[in-house]
Homo-oligomer: A and B are copies of this chain.
């Protein structure tokens, strides 16, 4: 039997996306977004939402370029801090001791300590309420070589990532391999 709990953000899991931008003074900044994900396979694009009051919102509209870094569980505190503090009055990289690196293909910084970096150009901005939804076309993806196999492919099966559960506003670790996708075409017919 199912019970109504009203309007709640009941998507489990949501990702922890670290949006990297340079602000109007050229300062590297990072903001955490859990409202986001892949939105198009071709052109390959990510969508993520940012409130209009955020320092990152201004930088995204001005520069039209950003990175999206994905942290491991070892950096959950830093990722949370990137979400609760503002680059308007803090230097989040200096505060946390993490390292901003200028991305090779876009004018935006990424977090050097995080294993996945997606370089993006903003292609559209959609008004969805208190947030603007940014559509960001993927330019390139960088992977820390610790997580690359010898044949030149990413091997992240055992990488300890984490996710956000917006129902209890908490972070959880990712777990073990379950099954290959696109493998059930003939299983139920």
Q: Residues of A with Cβ closer than 8 Å to B?
A: 1-15, 17, 34-47, 49, 51, 68, 70, 73, 76-78, 80-81, 83-85, 90, 92, 95-96, 104, 116-118, 124, 126, 128-131, 133, 135, 138-145, 148, 152-154, 156-157, 159, 161-185, 187-189
Contact = CB atoms under 8 A, between A and B. Distances in A.
Contacts of A180: 169-171
B167 A154 contact: yes
A46 B133 CA distance: 11
Contacts of A83: 181-182
A179 to B, nearest CB: 5
A112 to B, nearest CB: 8
Copies of this chain per assembly: 2
Nearest to A185: B84
Given A77-B184, A161-B12, A174-B163, A154 B5 contact: yes
Contacts of A4: 104, 140-142
Given A12-B159, A162-B178, 15 more contacts: A2-B144, A3-B142, A3-B152, A6-B141, A8-B138, A15-B37, A40-B49, A47-B128, A80-B181, A80-B183, A83-B182, A95-B188, A124-B128, A163-B163, A173-B174
